[in-house]
Amino acid sequence: MAPSGSRSIKRSCQTVLYWIPVIFITLIVAWSYYAYVVQLCIESIDNIGQKIVYLLAYHVVFILFTWAYWQTIFTKPMNPLKEFHLSYSDKELLEREDRGESQQEILRRIAKDLPIYTRTMSGAIRFCDRCQLVKPDRCHHCSVCDKCILKMDHHCPWVNNCVGFSNYKFFMLFLAYSLLYCIFITATDLQYFIKFWTAEGRTHDRLLEYLNGLPDTQAKFHIMFLFFAASMFSVSLASLFVYHCWLVCKNRSTLEAVRAPAFRHGADKNGFSLGLSKNFRQVFGDEMRYWPFPVYSSLGDGCSFPTCLVNQDPEQPTSPGHNPPPNKTVVGESHQFPAKPLRESQSRLLNSAPSWTENGGAEDKERRGTSNPAMAIENET
C-alpha cells in the first residue's frame, strides 16, 4: 500500500507542476486583457471612435488566440491504431526469443502488412517496448505522456500537451494568433508608451508634472508594462512561428529536423516532403475557409503518410491481384503503395492537383466527420 500511495502522490505532484506553465500564461493573458481593455481603452483613450475600433479589433484577435490555445491544450494526442499493437501471442513469442536478429524477424513479420517505411538508424523495425507496438512512420514515444504519439513534433510545457498529428494545426494557429495579439497590442499601445517615456531634458519635478497628463499612476504602470511584455513576447513568438512555418513547408516535425527519418535506403530529411502546396495541405486541409480557424481539417489518419521515396521497400509487398497506381516521386520515378492502402485524403495528396475550394461537397463533409481525432481516440479505447 505504501509504495502505491507514494506513486499516487508523486503523480499528483507532477500533474500540478505540469500545469504551472499553462496557469502562468493564463494569468498573463488575463492581466493583458484587463490592462488593454480597462486601463488603456476605457480609461486612457478619449476618442470614442478610436476606442470602439481598438476594442472590436482586439476582441477578434483575442477570441481567435484563446480558441487556438484552448484547442492546443485540450485536444488529445492521437495514439497508434490497434493494428500496430502486438497481439498477446506475438508478445509471448517476442518475450521468449533472445534479443537480436530473432526478435527482428518476428517484428518484420508483423510489420510486413503495415504501411511502414521508416526504420531505426541501424535498419531495424521501430518498436516501442513501453507500449508494445510497432511504431508507425513519424510516431515517437513521449516520456512525459508515457505514450506513443502519432507524428509527434514535441512535448510543449506551455500547453501541457504533446504537439502531434491531432493538434499541430491548432498549435500553428496558436503561434500565429499569439504573435498577432502581441503585435497588435504593441502597435496600438506605442503612442501611449511614448507619451509615458518622452521626458528627455526635463527635471524630476517637471517629469512628474508631465506624467500627470495620463489618467493616473495605475494606468501608467499598466500601459508601460503591457508594452514591454507584448514587445518581448513578439520577438520570441516570431522566431518560433517562422521556424514552424519552415517545418510545415518542408513537411518535417521538430524531431525530424533534429534527426532525419531513416528509410531502408538510408536517412532522408526530405522523405515525406511532397512539395510546398501539398505539404501545407497535409496540415491545414483542402478547404481555405477552414484554414484560419482552430477546427480539425488536416488530411490523413496519422498512421501512414505518402512519401517521395525512390526505392520501393522490398518488405512491403503489394496486395495479391492488386496493382495500385504509382506514387509521384521527387525525381520522376515511382513506387507502389504498401499492402495496406493509403487513406483517400493521402491518395488525393499524391495524385491530384491542389484543389483549394471554398465550398466542400458531401464527401469532404463526411471525411471531416470521420477524421475527428477525438472520435478516433474513442474508437481505439
pLDDT tens sequence across 311-361? 444 444 433 333 333 333 333 333 333 434 445 545 455 554 444 444 444
Residue 154 DSSP symbol:
E
Distance between CA 162 and CA 148 in Å, rounded?
10
Q: What is the percentage of the chain residues whose pLDDT exceeds 90?
A: 59
Q: What is the mean pLDDT of residues 293-317?
A: 77
Distance between CA 227 and CA 110 in Å, rounded?
58
Q: What is the mean pLDDT of residues 303-318?
A: 63
Q: Identify the CA nearest to 284 among candidates 253, 260, 248, 311.
A: 248
Which residues are the active-site residues? Answer: 156
Band of the pLDDT at 208, cuts 50, 70, 90?
low
State pLDDT tens for residues 242-283. Answer: 999 999 999 999 999 999 999 988 899 999 999 999 999 999
pLDDT greater than 60 at residue 78? yes
Q: Identify the CA nearest to 41 among candidates 302, 283, 279, 219.
A: 219
- Say if CB 84 and CB 115 are below 8 A apart: no
Q: What is the mean pLDDT of residues 138-144?
A: 95
Mean pLDDT of the chain: 81
Q: In one letter, which amino acid is 155?
A: H
Least confident among 76-85, 232-241, 302-311 = 302-311
State pLDDT tens for residues 209-240. Answer: 444 555 556 778 898 899 999 999 999 999 99
Least confident among 33-47, 67-81, 349-363 = 349-363
pLDDT greater than 50 at residue 310? no
State pLDDT tens for residues 167-207. Answer: 999 999 999 999 999 999 999 999 888 877 764 434 454 44
Query: Beta strands of the chain (E only): which ranges?
Result: 127-128, 133-134, 140-142, 147-149, 154-156, 161-163, 262-263, 266-267
Distance between CA 70 and CA 171 in Å, rounded?
10
Q: Can you tell me which residue has the cell 508631465? A: 210
State pLDDT tens for residues 281-296. Answer: 999 999 999 999 999 9
Distance between CA 97 and CA 102 in Å, rounded?
6
Q: What is the mean pLDDT of residues 368-381?
A: 40
